[in-house]
Amino acid sequence: MALTEQDIAWLARLAGLNLTANDQQRAQQELTRILGLIQELQAVDTQGITPMAHPLAAHQDVALRLREDTAEPAQTIAQRDACLTNAPAAHQGLFLVPTVIE
């Protein structure tokens, strides 16, 4: 699938980019090459092949190092306050978030 100059101009406008003529030509070549690679990958028959959780899983047993996703309370007030330093809004040790359901 080859991209046209109009496609690149449209994508640049959507992305808010001001591309020079050279930049447009380069982007057109690179994006066309990327789309070509995607088409090649889509042409491969993957029926009956189980997805891998890790790229090395085909060669060796890979145990994923995952931990339980559990909430743990802060041990001290200082820890709690450190967690809330980046919060846009907090009150009495809690994150304040805008109401999304009325």
Q: Where are the domains of the chain?
A: 5-43
What is the mean predicted confidence (pLDDT) over 30-54?
90
**Using CA atoms, how far apart are residues 5 and 15, in angstroms rounded to an integer?**
15
**Using CA atoms, how far apart are residues 78 and 39, in angstroms rounded to an integer?**
54
Q: Report residue 78: phi and psi, to 5°.
A: -65, -40
Q: Considering the entire predicted model, what is its pTM? A: 0.50
Average predicted confidence (pLDDT) for the chain: 88
